Amino acid sequence: MVTERKQLNRKWLWLGAVVVLIVVYFAARSLTRDRLPVRAAEVSQEPLASTTSTNGKVEPVNNIEVHAPIAAIVKAVYVQAGDTVPAGKLLMQLDDIEARAKLASADSAVKSAQASLEATVQNGTLEQRQGVTAEIGRDKLDRDQAQHDLDALIKLSATGAAAPSEVTAARERLATAEGNLHAAEQNEHSRYSPAEVARAQAAVRDAEANRQAAQQVLAQTSVHAPSAGTVYSLNVNATEFAEQGKLLLQMADLHQERVRAYFDEPEIGKLAVGQPILIKWDAKPGKFWHGHIERTPITVTTYGTRNVGEVLIHIDDVDGQLLPDTNVTVTVTTASEADALSIPREALRSENGKTYVYKIAGDELKKTVVVTGALNLTQVAILSGLRNGDWVATGTTTGQPLQEGVPIKRFP
């Protein structure tokens, strides 16, 4: 009996040990494996600015482009890209033979039109006027002779020495002579009609306009700087042929520049004139320029695969280092709060139109609805739902989803 009782006690002892081990195992598992490892962030108050970034391109406020006025060979180039030049400096010389020939032809056309106008206004050329004067003299002699013949025949007819038919013929000759004289006198004073005079005047104006255009083209073959600035683009070299209209060079005052930025359509409604801008150029790491919005979009256009609005940005601290056509990154501050209650943006969740976070309550997560305010790339302002000093979960270290009520292990 005693031996059997000892064996039974030994069995119960082993069974109790197994139960204890099982309890310890599940307790340890509950305290380790079942606790969700989460990253945590504290709710704090700090200045917060809502910003949006996009790309833009630097451009001169007053860009000067010089194009070839005619097809010509570039005889000489007197500047290099990057040169700063004063107003009036000779930058380039084109071959002007063709331009001079066109000017000579235009000048000849002006003189010809002026001579035609003079002849029209003075009722003909000198030769024509002299011819008319001589013709009037002859017509007067013919008229006088016809009158004399008629008078003689009338006297003879009274005595019966001349037939009535001869008198009639004499009267007709006199009428013809008088008609010829009258026509010649009219021609002396009104050879050309008012419409012909006006046409001659218009021809002179056209010829003079063509001559002026030819003079301008000739002048443009000597390329001078219209104002002081920097030649930032030079597109031809000496001895090179340039077709008419070809862009020869570009220059501008690099201390008067702006940025044309391209904001995506959803961001346009947040923009306003005067909002501050931060400008960054990758070629100058660590250097920034400041500006403000000068003009908001007036339409939406297609830019590559994007629908964007163009924004003009005034550069407040332009220093001549930003080159025209440079691609830059611009960041606009659309809203700011001096003392905002904020959390990291990755802590925000959204479901059924409501925004919430997982608030850390002891060793568990509690789903908490919040109202948000201004935001930037990393932080978001909380208007209600959290207090200063609260902690929220931003995610897990294992990639598992956050869940309400699950025991957690916090990694601040």
CB-neighbour burial class of residue 382 (10 A; exposed 0-12, middle 13-18, buried 19+): buried
The residue whose two tokens read 């030649």 is: 231
Q: What is the pLDDT along the chain (412 residues), one digit of tens a residue?
A: 555 555 656 666 667 666 666 655 555 555 554 688 999 999 998 888 888 999 999 999 999 999 999 999 999 999 999 899 999 999 999 999 989 999 999 999 999 888 888 777 777 655 566 666 667 668 778 787 878 777 777 877 777 777 788 778 878 887 887 777 676 666 656 666 778 778 888 998 999 999 999 999 999 999 999 999 999 999 999 999 999 999 999 999 999 999 999 999 999 999 999 999 999 999 999 999 999 999 999 999 998 899 999 999 999 999 888 989 999 999 999 888 888 899 999 999 998 889 999 999 988 999 999 998 888 778 899 999 999 999 999 999 888 899 888 888 887 6
> pLDDT at position 141, please?
81
For helices 126-159 and 164-189, angle between their N-to-C axes, nearest 10 degrees: 160
Mention every residue, 6+ apart, whose C-beta is less than 8 A from residue 181: 136, 139, 140, 142, 143
- The pTM score is 0.58
Q: Could you tell me which residues are beta bridge partners of residue 392?
A: 41, 359
Task: Spell out the SS3 assignment of the chain.
Answer: CHHHHHHHHHHHHHHHHHHHHHHHHHHHHHHCCCCEEEEEEECEEEEEEEEEEEEEEEEECCCEEEECCCCEEEEEECCCCCCEECCCCEEEEECCHHHHHHHHHHHHHHHHHHHHHHHHHCCCCHHHHHHHHHHHHHHHHHHHHHHHHHHHHHHHHHHCCCCHHHHHHHHHHHHHHHHHHHHHHHHHHCCCCHHHHHHHHHHHHHHHHHHHHHHHHHHHCEEECCCCEEEEEECCCCCCEECCCCEEEEEECCCCEEEEEEEEHHHHHHCCCCCEEEEECCCCCCCEEEEEEEECCCCEEEECCEEEEEEEEEECCCCCCCCCCCEEEEEEEEEEEEEEEEEEHHHCEEECCEEEEEEEECCEEEEEECEEEEECCCEEEEEECCCCCCEEEEEECCCCCCCCCCCEEEEC
Contact 368, 359 (CB under 8 A): yes
